[in-house]
């Protein structure tokens, strides 16, 4: 029986091999959960999920390449451009949230700091956009299966295969991992970012404006300040431990 399974495994395509190895690692982890504890199981779970996700990406690539080659070649660059534009917008939103949480001030007042952290937030933003795109594709495929005769025949052919359940599991795992990954990264950013946000803001958005402050002698001209609405201003004072934030009103 083992020899038969081994022969069948050799004949499988690459994506099926990744799926099978991923499921095998998962079941081995389940067997060891009572012997080695949950730490080993979690490590093996992560490995199995990555293998299953790799199998899904290989299947996804081959599926579109074999069935939608014309569409794939013609619209790939347009899709990539749209994906990056959407990711850039989401990254800018994420950066605004990080800056706002780190300073407690309107992020719209810190253009250069938000711009810098937009690049930092590009990876979690790409995860989020990829998850949304994956869900959108699944909805499109469901409606295409119901309404389009051509796509109906393509999907029926795919569903008739022996391991048709693997891509479905791979899709669910991929979307879950992507959503989990971007959440973890953003949580890390919110936790670690305050000192870095203040350092970047101090070097970029905060400026010396002695000519403006001539009209307000009570405000020190030797400090970098940032003007806000309604006469409010903030300052960052550099100390050995970082930057202390102070908010006051111009009088």
**What is the band of 111 on the pLDDT scale with cuts at 50, 70, 90?**
very high
**What is the band of 71 on the pLDDT scale with cuts at 50, 70, 90?**
low
Helix, strand, coil percentages in the chain from 3-state DSSP, rounded to 5: 75, 10, 15
**What is the band of 72 on the pLDDT scale with cuts at 50, 70, 90?**
low
In angstroms, the Cα distances linking 120 to 108, 198, 205 are 17, 15, 18
In angstroms, the Cα distances linking 170 to 22, 55, 116, 181 are 10, 7, 35, 16
**What is the band of 89 on the pLDDT scale with cuts at 50, 70, 90?**
very high
What 3-state class would DSSP assign to 103?
Answer: helix
For the full predicted model, state whether its pTM sits above 0.75. no
* Domain boundaries of the chain, sorted by first residue: 1-67, 68-205, 206-251
**What is the band of 195 on the pLDDT scale with cuts at 50, 70, 90?**
confident
C-alpha 134/C-alpha 132 separation (Å) is: 5
Query: What percent of the chain stands above pLDDT 70?
Result: 76
């Amino acid at each position: 029986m083992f020899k038969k399974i081994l022969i069948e495994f050799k004949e499988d395509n690459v994506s099926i091999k990744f799926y099978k190895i991923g499921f095998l690692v998962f079941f081995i982890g389940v067997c060891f959960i009572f012997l080695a504890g949950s730490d080993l199981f979690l490590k093996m779970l992560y490995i199995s999920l990555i293998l299953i996700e790799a199998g899904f990406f290989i299947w996804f690539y081959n599926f579109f390449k074999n069935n939608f080659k014309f569409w794939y070649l013609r619209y790939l660059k347009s899709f990539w451009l749209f994906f990056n534009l959407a990711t850039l917008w989401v990254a800018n939103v994420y950066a605004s949230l990080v800056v706002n949480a780190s300073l407690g001030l309107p992020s719209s007042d810190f253009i250069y700091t938000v711009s810098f952290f937009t690049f930092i937030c590009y990876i979690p933003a790409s995860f989020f956009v990829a998850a949304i795109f994956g869900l959108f594709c699944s909805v499109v495929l469901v409606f295409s299966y119901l309404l389009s005769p051509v796509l109906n025949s393509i999907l029926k052919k795919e569903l008739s295969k022996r391991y048709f359940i693997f891509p479905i599991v791979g899709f669910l795992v991929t979307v879950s991992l992507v959503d989990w990954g971007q959440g973890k990264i953003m949580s890390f950013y919110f936790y670690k970012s305050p000192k870095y946000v203040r350092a970047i803001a101090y070097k970029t958005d905060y400026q010396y404006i002695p000519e403006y402050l001539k009209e307000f002698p009570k405000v020190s001209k030797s400090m970098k300040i940032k003007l806000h609405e309604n006469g409010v201003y903030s300052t960052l004072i550099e100390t050995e431990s970082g930057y202390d934030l102070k908010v006051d009103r111009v009088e």
